[in-house]
Amino acid sequence: MQTLVQDLRYGLRMLLNKPGFAAVAVITLALGIGANTAIFSVVNAVLLRPLPYREPGKLVRIYTEFPAMNLRKFWMSAPEFLDIHNEAQSWESVGAWTTGGRNIATSEEPIRVTAALVTRGLIDAWECNRRRAATSRPKKTATADLSQC
């Protein structure tokens, strides 16, 4: 233990004798620790933490393909969705969404925002907090605060 204390005192004395080197060493350590923390935070949020759904391995996304037109993973039309929704028996829930711009009226000037329109089946599949989802028409459309999902 005494050797450790002597080594620390010697190191501190050397750093005080060369303040430029000490500043560069401290800045380098700070940048390295900060970068490591930032990268780990992103990796943890994107790759390591499980999705906030009951059984994320059972979620699937369905696409349409048009090989003649070389279109892969193309969005599904409303009639195609309705066919799947009405005829699918092996899925617990079938939902759809679309995104686009919407205007929000304010007292001054309208604000343009990006919004997502989702079906009730998607809210059910995500198992959102049902108290936050307000159904405007039974089993057809709903609005919800999806940040709580």
> Which residues are 116's β-sheet partners?
99
pTM (global) more than 0.85: no
Structure confidence by residue, pLDDT tens digits, 23-74: 999 999 999 999 999 999 999 988 888 777 777 777 888 888 888 888 888 8
* Domain range annotation of the chain: 2-48, 77-143
Four-residue CA torsion sign, 9, 13, 18, 22: positive
Q: Cα–Cα distances in Å, from 73 out to 50, 67, 133?
A: 25, 10, 29
Per-residue pLDDT tens over the stretch 79-124? 888 888 888 888 888 888 888 888 988 898 999 999 888 888 887 7
Does residue 3 register a pLDDT over 50? yes
The model's confidence at residue 142, banded by pLDDT at 50, 70 and 90, is very low
Number of H helices, E strands in the chain: 4, 6
Which residues fall within 8 angstroms of residue 116, CB to CB, at 6 or more apart? 97, 98, 99, 146
